[in-house]
Chain A
Amino acid sequence: MFILSVLKDTIHIQPYDFHKHKFDALTDEINRIYANKVIQDVGLCICLFEIISASEEIVHYGDGASYAKVTFRLVVFRPFIGEIIEGTVSSNTFEGVKVTLGYFDDILIPTHNDDGWKFDHETQVWVRLWDSQIPETNWKSPEDKYLYMYMDKDTTIKFRVIEEKFTDIGTKGPPPKRTGAVAGQKAPMPSSSSLPSDVMIVGNNRGGNTQNVKTDTTTNAPTGGKLVPYELIGSIAEVGLGLTSWKWD
Chain B
Amino acid sequence: MLSNYEVLALLREMDEKQREQAKINPNVKFAENLKTIQFEVIQNLSSSESPSSTQTPEQIETTLTHLKNYNLTKSEKLQLINLRPQSIAELELIIEDCEDRFGMDTLRELIYIIGTNLPMPGKVVRCLESGAEFLDDESMTFIHYPLEQLEHQL
Contact = CB atoms under 8 A, between A and B. Distances in A.
A139 interface: no
A102 B41 contact: yes
Contacts of B136: 249
Contact of B7 (A46, A80, A102, A160): A46
B22 interface: no
Contacts of A249: 136-137
A152 interface: no
Contacts of A103: 37, 40-41, 44
A248 B137 CA distance: 10
Contact of A176 (B31, B38, B49, B50): B31
Contacts of B36: 35-36
Contact of B44 (A3, A35, A102): A102
A89 B49 CA distance: 15
A248 B90 CA distance: 10
Contact of A102 (B2, B43, B87, B89): B43
A86 B49 contact: yes
B63 interface: no
A190 interface: no
Interface in A198-249: 216, 238-241, 244, 248-249
B93 interface: yes
A156 interface: yes
B93 A101 contact: no
A230 to B, nearest CB: 14
Interface residues of A, number: 35
Contacts of A32: 31, 33-34
By CB atoms of chain B within 10 A, which of A31, A101, A156, A241 has the most?
Answer: A31
A28 B44 CA distance: 24
Contacts of B44: 101-103
Interface string B3-31: 11011001100100000000000001111
A179 B31 contact: yes
Nearest to A45: B37
A32 B79 CA distance: 30
A11 to B, nearest CB: 14
A176 B32 CA distance: 7
Given A49-B10, A86-B83, A4 B2 contact: yes
A102 B6 CA distance: 18
A84 interface: yes
14 contacts: A2-B6, A31-B31, A35-B36, A36-B33, A36-B36, A47-B37, A75-B10, A83-B79, A84-B83, A86-B49, A102-B41, A103-B37, A103-B40, A240-B89
Instruction: Give me the 8 closest cross-chain CB pairs, A-B, nearest first.
Output: A103-B40, A35-B34, A36-B37, A179-B29, A32-B31, A102-B44, A36-B33, A2-B2
Interface of A: 1-4, 28, 31-32, 35-37, 46-47, 49, 75, 80, 82-84, 86, 101-103, 156, 160, 175-176, 179, 216, 238-241, 244, 248-249
Given A35-B37, A46-B37, A83-B79, 18 more contacts: A2-B2, A2-B7, A28-B31, A36-B33, A46-B7, A47-B14, A82-B75, A83-B75, A84-B93, A86-B49, A86-B50, A102-B41, A103-B44, A175-B33, A216-B33, A239-B89, A240-B89, A249-B137
